[in-house]
Structure 1
Amino acid sequence: MAESPTSSTEKKQYPLQDEKGVVDVEASPVYDDAGPVEFAEKAELRRGLQQRHIQMIALAGTIGTGLFLGSGKAITRGGPLGAFLGYLFVGFLVTAPVLSIAEMSALVPLSGGIIRHAEYFFDPALAFANGWNQVYSYMVSLPAEIVAAAVIVNFWNESVSNAVWIVIFGLLLVASNIYLVRVYGELEFSFALLKIMLVVGLNLMSLVLVCGGGPTGEVYGFKYWRDPGPFVQYLGIPGGLGQFAGFWTVFSNAVYAYSGTENISMAAAETQCPRRAIPMAAKRIFVRVLLFYVLSIFFVGMLVPSNDKNLLQSTGTAAQSPFVIAATGAGVKVVPHIINAVVLTSAWSAGNSGLLNGSRILYGLAREGRAPKIFKRVNRFGIPWVAVASLSLFVCLGFMSLSSGASTVFSWLQDLVSVAALVNWTIICIVYLRFFYAMKKQGIPRERLPWKAPLQPYAAWIGVFSFIILLLTGGYTTFIHGHWDNETFVSSYFNIPLIFLLYFIYKFAAKTKMVSLTDSPIMEFILIAERNPEPPAKPKKGLRKLNILWS
């Protein structure tokens, strides 16, 4: 086992992975100021993300406009009980890709997450297909988040053109990504704390209001569960079928809200001690999402009736938030401004995360020869600046929203991105199953892994079947007589032929083969992990023992 050098003059420069991705387990590790580097790219990228950054980034990716603004749509479609059950059910399902990606990333902590794992454990063609599918989704979602931030600012000031805010937020986005990844980590850490404090405050406010502690003194209890009822007759379909249809429609809202939970490994090569940090984030993320999301949906369903006309508005600001509607109805006036401020940081934070994740996917694709080599270039700060700069250009698409006609098209493109989360979750589970059964075929005990996820392979199998069903039924309303909608159909099913098209085009062009279970290079990666152990975690002292969020 290699020992850490005692000084910087003793650093060795023998990467364990060559340009073609061939692993040399006999090579000595590279060392830098952050410790041993098992892979060449980890010597190129600056490891500025610490344990607390990874923990809070994982949480920040799941709390945003999907909760503060989008939860109202779920209540109008599924009713308070339908929305609660929908978010709860998807919350259980999302643990499958999170646990799967965390186990593989603890063994192979490379930038790009599942894009890189598909290369080694499934088929290079799948790495290419999902990689470019994800890049495409970030190209569209980046300007969407910046436009959302600009619209939110209009809640306070409508005199300044959205173009000005798009430029300002876009430049801030580039600045936080192009210089130091540590800046990104601190920003996301701060934004996550704001979101957590807001959610906790809103839930406490909701509890007080439900029990009759508001200015009006009205006790809400479960009165909206009785009238207009726990479920909604969606699309006017009578009976239990209409209620089930509304409940099923909530899934699309919940999937969008939970999207991003799998990104804990996207910047693994820039994470200090990833074999400890990533699994810890995975183990805790479900409990946090359950507490923040499901509890919030439960409370807001008690405070706002599903037929409230304000829930049907689409202002893009805090005015459409069910929390604001509940607070306003109860006579609490300061809440809209607080929510709008945090939603603003959420929108910009989502763009910030998208730029980092998208640029790391591009960098990972370039490392594997599936994107132009220019995307491999890094600056002196260890940032893949060409990939960041290239994706940043797509922020300019946000100016399309300044025209009413183009804005309609832009909203249509934005809807396409939401399905990419389901496609990505499905692929993560499929690749993990190949990884799992390759270990079984080769007789490698799971105890040798840096971290073995619980509930496997059952969670991955459930995830694959459930996500495929949700994909195929995402646009079911278009098949109901009299409800055909071109936008809904295309946005619900465009990603399915796209991923297959990318896969087979590259497979036939590059003549790739699926990695057999016997040839999967799992043992090589295990040897790398065993020969380069991470330093033990520092023991908790004093008040740190009470920290359940990131320590």
Structure 2
Amino acid sequence: MSWPRSPESALTEPSVSSIAHIETSDLERLFQERHVVRQGLHQRHIQMIGLAGTVGSGLFLNSGQALAMGGPLGAFLGYTLMGLAASSVVLVIGEMGTLVPLSGGPVRYSELFLDPAVSFANGWNQVCSYLVTIPAEIVAASILVEFWSSVSSAIWITVFGILILVTALLFIRIYGEIEFVFAMLKIFLILGVNIMALVITCGGGPSGQSIGFRYWKNPGPFVQYFGIEGSLGRFLGFWSTLNYATFAYAGVQNITLAGAETRSPRRAIPKATKRVLIRILIFYVLSIFMIGLVIPSNDPYLLHLTGTASQSPFVLAARRAGIPDIPSIINAAILASAWSAGNSFMLFGSRILFGMAIQGHAPAIFARLNRFKVPYAAIAFFGAFMCLGYMVVSETATTVFSWLQAVVGVSTLIDWIVICVVYLRFYYSCKKQGIDRHKELPWAAPFQPFSTWASLVLLLLVLFTGGFSTFIHGHWNTETFLSAYINIPIFLVLYFGYKWWKKTRIIALVKIPIVGLIQFSLSQETSDYEPRRKRKFEKVNFLWA
């Protein structure tokens, strides 16, 4: 493992006493990251970044497509099923992240518990994903502004790009506070539109007409996918919603990506992790359920993609009920969401690249820090690729940019699958070495390994059937096929290419240094300790604390 030797990223040498029980010198160097970067993120920051921080325009704008493809019950089941899988992924990330709080989070765990080649392949897979998703969110924000203004989108792309760069280059604490405020706004928006939907359903709108479960009866709880009749068509409609749900949940697994910059990770990460299921149910599953109540799945406007609030199913429902001024309010909130998601993706991408540079899987320059102790070189690298957003100015380039977004979208599924496999290696290594997870680890995730195995099987099925629509007679689409599957060979080429070049091997279960990690984690407990302060309304703040 090579380390950068630039002045900005030089690490202090470990003392003899601190590594007395560490099995390899590399373990000590991994934990030195906590002395290089600044621990400015609190528990409330990381959980909001991991959950609400990644809620961009997708949940508010594109959830209507899931309803149109699967029907109200199909979309509800799809979001629920993928929500359970996402929760399982977050739980195991929390267990490993509490023990090993490093920059880059899941990408780094592959190096320790599975194979450096997996870390390399998944790391660059995620970097490439964020190189496209960051400008995508900036483009989404610029289109949302066009709802009120006809000024060229290129101007707004520049404005939002500069704001994201400035935020990312400041103290990590400033970024955390900004994202916390954005996340709270999104939470209030989600709760607000759900309350509005409930009022409309119960007949509290201007029309005074009660809807109830009318749209579950006509046009029905499921949609016949591509006109295929019978149970097969209904099942395919439900199955198609899993892809929409996956993209909606993308990013929730990143609560430990800034682990080295998190204060008191032994307490903050488990607390942020344990409540993720109830938040997914409230923010995502409840929202898709309410959408299915207030708008029929055969509404033609659900598939009319404008990029502004006018395509939001909540706006469509408000217009049906005769409620004015809703589009502007929702558009403003979605604009903040897109900007916030861009901020979060910049954090995720830059910390992955920073962690890879420390591992020697990326050029050492990306490990350099500025005076605020943030990886400015990695941030600048992602900032340069924001220029991809200007492609929307050209009609031809817009098509290319949309295709790039679809290609990298599958990287979320690959990341979740890798996390499950890495955790299973970690879990069975603990059993092999006689380590009681619940007694010896800082925190142990519940329902293991059963929930991880179930999630892994589901995620593999979704990955390999992601482009199933192209195999239906008369519906072949080359673009859809490539976007669904091209990430798989890219990942395999990166994995086997690195494995051949570096001659890496899968780490044997008995050689995974869990004992050393536990010993060093205990030695850091005192220095990481942060006094717990009692707060008002502590028992009812499960949404934000």
Answer yes or no: same fold by TM over 0.5: yes
Q: Check whether the contact 1:362–1:375 (CA below 8 A) recurs between aligned residues.
A: yes
Answer yes or no: is 1:496 the counterpart of 2:496.
no
Please show how residues 226-305 of structure 1 align to structure 2 within 5 Å: 226-305=217-296
Answer yes or no: is 1:138 the counterpart of 2:130.
yes
Look up the SS of the partner of 2:537 in the other structure.
helix
Q: Check whether the contact 1:216–1:331 (CA below 8 A) recurs between aligned residues.
A: yes
Answer yes or no: is 1:331 the counterpart of 2:322.
yes
Residues 213 and 550 of structure 1: CA distance in aligned 2, closer, same or farther (over 3 Å): closer
Amino acid of the structure 1 residue aligned with 2:446:
P
Q: Deviation of residue 536 (structure 1)?
A: 5.9
- Match in the other structure for 2:6: none
Instruction: Give, in whole Å, the separation in 1 of the partners of 2:315 and 2:15.
Output: 53
Name which of 425, 433, 457 aligns with 2:424.
433
Q: Check whether the contact 2:275–2:542 (CA below 8 A) recurs between aligned residues.
A: no
Q: Check whether the contact 1:55–1:549 (CA below 8 A) recurs between aligned residues.
A: no
Instruction: Give, in whole Å, the separation in 1 of the partners of 2:94 and 2:335.
Output: 30
Kindly provide the CA deviation profile for residues 119-175 of structure 1, in whole angstroms up to 9, marking residues without a partner as x.
Answer: 0110000010000000000111111111111011001111x1011001100000100
Amino acid of the structure 2 residue aligned with 1:250:
T
Q: Check whether the contact 1:81–1:230 (CA below 8 A) recurs between aligned residues.
A: yes
- Match in the other structure for 2:353: 362
Amino acid of the structure 1 residue aligned with 2:133:
S
Amino acid of the structure 2 residue aligned with 1:473:
T
- Match in the other structure for 1:79: 71
Q: Deviation of residue 66 (structure 1)?
A: 2.3
- Match in the other structure for 1:524: 516
- Match in the other structure for 2:366: 375
Instruction: Give, in whole Å, the separation in 2 of the partners of 1:539 and 1:154.
Output: 45
Q: Check whether the contact 1:104–1:117 (CA below 8 A) recurs between aligned residues.
A: yes
Instruction: Give, in whole Å, the separation in 2 of the partners of 1:540 and 1:373.
Output: 43
Instruction: Give, in whole Å, the separation in 2 of the partners of 1:86 and 1:493.
Output: 21
Residues 14 and 400 of structure 1: CA distance in aligned 2, closer, same or farther (over 3 Å): closer
User: Any gaps of 5 or more consecutive residues in structure 1?
Assistant: 1-12, 28-36
Q: Deviation of residue 15 (structure 1)?
A: 5.0
Please show how residues 85-96 of structure 1 align to structure 2 within 5 Å: 85-96=77-88
Instruction: Give, in whole Å, the separation in 1 of the partners of 2:141 and 2:225.
Output: 31
Name which of 17, 24, 29 aligns with 2:19.
24
Instruction: Give, in whole Å, the separation in 1 of the partners of 2:396 and 2:126.
Output: 27
Kindly provide the CA deviation profile for residues 262-312 of structure 1, in whole angstroms up to 9, marking residues without a partner as x.
Answer: 000000001101121111111111111101211111111111011111111
Please show how residues 340-351 of structure 1 align to structure 2 within 5 Å: 340-351=331-342
Q: How many residues align?
A: 525
- Match in the other structure for 1:98: 90
Amino acid of the structure 1 residue aligned with 2:202:
C
Answer yes or no: is 1:352 the counterpart of 2:330.
no
Amino acid of the structure 1 residue aligned with 2:375:
P
Q: Check whether the contact 2:225–2:237 (CA below 8 A) recurs between aligned residues.
A: yes
Instruction: Give, in whole Å, the separation in 1 of the partners of 2:290 and 2:240.
Output: 20
Amino acid of the structure 2 residue aligned with 1:70:
N
Answer yes or no: is 1:550 the counterpart of 2:541.
no
- Match in the other structure for 2:187: 196
Look up the SS of the partner of 2:410 in the other structure.
helix
Name which of 122, 128, 137 aligns with 2:120.
128
Name which of 140, 152, 155 aligns with 1:148.
140
Q: Check whether the contact 2:30–2:102 (CA below 8 A) recurs between aligned residues.
A: no
Comparing 302-311 and 536-545, the one that deviates more = 536-545
Q: Deviation of residue 345 (structure 1)?
A: 1.1
- Match in the other structure for 1:219: 210
Instruction: Give, in whole Å, the separation in 2 of the partners of 1:45 and 1:495.
Output: 32
- Match in the other structure for 1:169: 160
Q: Check whether the contact 1:314–1:320 (CA below 8 A) recurs between aligned residues.
A: yes
Q: Runs of 4+ in structure 1 displaced over 4 angstroms?
A: 13-18
Q: Check whether the contact 2:53–2:179 (CA below 8 A) recurs between aligned residues.
A: no
Residues 388 and 466 of structure 1: CA distance in aligned 2, closer, same or farther (over 3 Å): same
Kindly provide the CA deviation profile for residues 6-28 of structure 1, in whole angstroms up to 9, marking residues without a partner as x.
Answer: xxxxxxx965599xxxx93559x
Amino acid of the structure 2 residue aligned with 1:131:
G
- Match in the other structure for 1:5: none
Q: Check whether the contact 2:194–2:287 (CA below 8 A) recurs between aligned residues.
A: yes
Identical-pair percentage: 54
Name which of 50, 55, 58 aligns with 1:58.
50
Q: Deviation of residue 546 (structure 1)?
A: 3.1
Amino acid of the structure 1 residue aligned with 2:455:
G
Answer yes or no: is 1:465 the counterpart of 2:460.
no
Q: Check whether the contact 1:17–1:40 (CA below 8 A) recurs between aligned residues.
A: no
Instruction: Give, in whole Å, the separation in 1 of the partners of 2:531 and 2:64.
Output: 42
Answer yes or no: is 1:108 the counterpart of 2:100.
yes
Q: Check whether the contact 1:48–1:182 (CA below 8 A) recurs between aligned residues.
A: yes
- Match in the other structure for 2:177: 186
Q: Deviation of residue 55 (structure 1)?
A: 2.1
Instruction: Give, in whole Å, the separation in 1 of the partners of 2:293 and 2:346.
Output: 37
Instruction: Give, in whole Å, the separation in 2 of the partners of 1:69 and 1:492.
Output: 21
Q: Deviation of residue 541 (structure 1)?
A: 4.2
Q: Check whether the contact 2:114–2:425 (CA below 8 A) recurs between aligned residues.
A: yes
Look up the SS of the partner of 1:491 in the other structure.
helix
Residues 508 and 207 of structure 1: CA distance in aligned 2, closer, same or farther (over 3 Å): same
Name which of 499, 507, 521 aligns with 2:499.
507
Look up the SS of the partner of 2:510 in the other structure.
coil
Instruction: Give, in whole Å, the separation in 2 of the partners of 1:256 and 1:498.
Output: 20
Amino acid of the structure 1 residue aligned with 2:393:
L
Q: Check whether the contact 2:55–2:341 (CA below 8 A) recurs between aligned residues.
A: no
RMSD, aligned α-carbons: 1.7
Instruction: Give, in whole Å, the separation in 1 of the partners of 2:320 and 2:20.
Output: 64
Q: Deviation of residue 38 (structure 1)?
A: 8.5
Name which of 391, 394, 406 aligns with 1:400.
391
Instruction: Give, in whole Å, the separation in 2 of the partners of 1:544 and 1:394.
Output: 42
Kindly provide the CA deviation profile for residues 224-276 of structure 1, in whole angstroms up to 9, marking residues without a partner as x.
Answer: 11111111111011111111111100000000001111000000001101121
User: Any gaps of 5 or more consecutive residues in structure 2?
Assistant: 1-10, 23-28
- Match in the other structure for 1:31: none
Please show how residues 445-484 of structure 1 align to structure 2 within 5 Å: 445-446=436-437, 447-484=439-476
- Match in the other structure for 1:34: none
Comparing 184-193 and 541-550, the one that deviates more = 541-550
Kindly provide the CA deviation profile for residues 504-540 of structure 1, in whole angstroms up to 9, marking residues without a partner as x.
Answer: 0000000111111111011111001112224265252
Instruction: Give, in whole Å, the separation in 2 of the partners of 1:465 and 1:225.
Output: 30
